[in-house]
Amino acid sequence: MDGDMQGKVCLVTGGARGMGRVTALALAARGARVIIVDWEGEEGTRTRDLINSRASRPLAEFAWCDLSSLADVRRLAADIGARYPSLQVLVNNAGITDPVRRLSPDGWEMHLATCHLGHFLLTQLLLPQLRAGAPARIVCIASEAHRVGPGLDFDDLNNEKIWKGAAFSNGAAFAAYHRAKLCNLYFTFELAGRLRGSGITVNAVSPGYFVNTSIYRNLRGVFRWGAVPVFALGSLLGLNTPERGARTHIHVAASPAVEGVTGEYFASCRVAQASPVARDPVIRRRLWDWTAGVTGIGA
């Protein structure tokens, strides 16, 4: 088993289902205390109860939070900060893909709000606990989808133009997801530089292609029907299961081999190359400044 986590506190967003659930189970199996954060209360409590049923003492708790709501994120961080003086691992895993353009409670498009803004704010607010828990690790779940697209449009960061007024669009959803995952990488690389020497490492992870999780449940039309055989065949062959996809999450969060490694992009439990666009320092600083302005923290 990769890495003893006895006595460590880990927080996993999107931990109720899919790869987040697998990650939470694995960290708890290594002895960690795990805080499962999700907006799916029933699945979150089931995951918590499963972990605790397997342990000699309670190791897991569930914390409800809508990551797209900045107010909810602030409430979550305040609660965690009040009860846990230190934190050793933060896994920013939660994500969505939705062909309908929806807005967060703060008026931001949901891919941007959930994947980027919520995690940026949560990470910033939990830095005191991570500093106290050093050596600590921040793991941001990105995607190979960051490669497939033209990059960010700073005139359309709220993803209005890509829907072109349509009621729904799978193509627009993929474009928004591409941008959100690119934001995850910009955030990872910029934060890693800012925290270098602090005892906190920051790395990004690719789980692979078309991992069969509930993130795709909102697909519609030909995309939905096309996804069915892809997911079915991949799962049959064991190529795109949540367990396989989460292996790199767990490796980067727990492996002694990753101790001290920061500012990297991992795929298949090895350091990989992110796209040249994702490594652009000018864009990542510009995005950081914009995000700090939106969230009110990190300037």
Active site residues: 177
Q: What are phi and psi of 16, to 5 degrees?
A: -80, -30
DSSP bridge pairs for 9: 33
**Alpha helices, DSSP H only, in the chain?**
18-29, 41-54, 70-83, 110-111, 118-132, 170-195, 221-236, 242-245, 247-254, 281-295
| The token pair that represents 226 in the structure block | 């096309």
Cis peptide before 58 (omega within 30 of 0): no
Burial (Cβ within 10 Å: 0-12, 13-18, ≥19) of residue 261: middle
Which tokens is 2 given?
């990769």
Of 273, 201, 211, nearest in space to 247 by CA: 211
Do the beta carbons of residue 175 and residue 128 sit within 8 Å?
Answer: no
From residue 233, give the alpha-carbon distance in Å to each of 90, 227, 238, 288: 33, 10, 8, 40
Question: CB-hemisphere CA count at 13 Å for 173?
Answer: 20
